[in-house]
Structure 1
């Protein structure tokens, strides 16, 4: 299907509180030098006790409206990617709809972990291009600190909170979505999970703390192989070459992983954007944060081709090539 959808605005929001590597040194057996060397992270933002995913989502939408001359009163669908909703229900998207009085909007939350923003953009492009919707608000909002085990030094140094939002509208002349690719391996679900109503998977009892549990070695191996292959297939689907891409924006899992992926692809890191240094791993919000910051800094310019690629829990992955048209 030819795209008839384009991104017309973007926004972001992060909580005020900063958690530095020095703060983590006081909680677990780690050091600033070790964290920077192993992850590339220096600090992350942490939501307050009474600050939740819907609050961050609304903050990102407010930033979007402030930065661009757009009207969201006629938004007809709100999609929120989150793995850390305020409630089982109502959804985060319902809270956003109520906050902005979007009287004509349908709502749903989407759960695809760290690739959720890309899955949500893919859905929005399909719905708008098909004519089923005209204006879709796509949001990724995560409060990962609320599901972090701060006694586990291998994961607690990684995670932070944040949100990003994009407005996807109909454009009958030329859409901005050039190509997409997605996939999953659900058999590896035990490598990255958080228990809910069930505390077992495939007959195996899980660590049932309600916090995120990760087998970092397994996820790393899967990601390097899968994302490398996925980016190559995405470029093939888009009929493009690596040299046609101005910026690569992967999920900000950790810097060592990103470097391993792009070393395999022979892509120099000065063409790669990420948000992990000062936000940490914000799950599905990480690509939206990197995109928003790069636009604000003037790095991304009109007509640049961007390759976004999310990957994580599920295990699932999704990517798009888009032409930046703002």
Structure 2
């Protein structure tokens, strides 16, 4: 049976030039490099410059992905941009990227699922490609999370950074087998009862302001371990594989201890886990595509490799995706 698969053509990334180390943060809030590193694995983060918008980061990542794939922007007919920090309340930041690329056809819109945003966006784009409503898609995760942080709250301001990553997909025929290249399956979940454990205390209809991140860190950690395991098990179960079949785990880069727990669950050695949290911190929807771009760019991820992605974010939302590169 012939079916359409969303195959990966290329990936790209962009990180702002300014780097803020733990030592620099320790000069602003009561914390230390040792405290941050021990609890999170984070050593530094990139912070967008004044006037540098989410659309700017997104555009740079999209252009990088197009160069990597060797195709022109005119071939793209779908942009799905995952972000929690859009340029404006409306229109969608994706339309600004569309205009920046000179793309005058197709469709562009945003997805909001916080740190799970890229997995959600990948699932949406994959569905469009598989049913033939688009042929070539840019899936972008981009954040200027520094704009919604309370820089006096040491429990949150040390955790996040800014950046953007992009994946370029194209519909191609496959026979439906697990050896097909492309997106094999996506698995999405949410449970709105956990709103108060991770949220931003602002918004157009509530306060009229952007607000700041509020988080109950211990509760988020506890739920993350359970819910990410659920998402990982869903991907493994649907595709009839085991952890030993996975070539690379590319997790959401929020906390080193959570990442290690998922690697242990899959019995994966550390060298099979793509880790960027030490240098990027938590870039929310951008973290997975940034990690993908790094690992594909340095040659670790090769054509034919089985790549498992997983993430959890505020809402709570969580999910996974399995891709044959």
**Same topology, TM > 0.5:** yes
Structure 1 gap segments, 5+ residues each: 201-207
TM-score of the superposition, structure 2-length normalised?
0.93
Matches within 5 A, 1:58-207: 58-173=59-174, 174-194=180-200, 195-199=202-206
**Equivalent residue for 2:177?**
none
RMSD over aligned Cα atoms: 1.7
How many angstroms does 1:112 deviate by? Answer: 0.8
Structure 2 gap segments, 5+ residues each: 175-179
Contact 2:66 2:168 in 1 (8 A): no
How many angstroms does 1:17 deviate by? Answer: 0.3
Distance in 2 separating the partners of 1:283 and 1:117: 9
Distance 1:209 1:303, change over 3 A: closer
Contact 2:16 2:163 in 1 (8 A): yes
Equivalenced residue count is 317
Runs of 4+ in 1 over 2 A off after TM superposition: 1-4, 65-68, 197-200, 260-270
Distance in 2 separating the partners of 1:276 and 1:105: 34
**CA displacement 1:82-125 (0-9 Å, x = unmatched):** 00001001211010011111111211100011111111111111
Matches within 5 A, 1:245-264: 245-264=246-265
Contact 2:84 2:112 in 1 (8 A): yes
How many angstroms does 1:271 deviate by? Answer: 1.7
Distance in 1 separating the partners of 2:252 and 2:24: 24
* 2:52 is aligned with 1:45: no
Deviates more, 1:293-302 or 1:191-200: 191-200
Determine helix, strand or coil for the equivalent of 1:90. coil
Deviates more, 1:71-80 or 1:280-289: 71-80
Distance in 1 separating the partners of 2:232 and 2:118: 16
Distance in 1 separating the partners of 2:4 and 2:199: 34
How many angstroms does 1:41 deviate by? Answer: 0.9
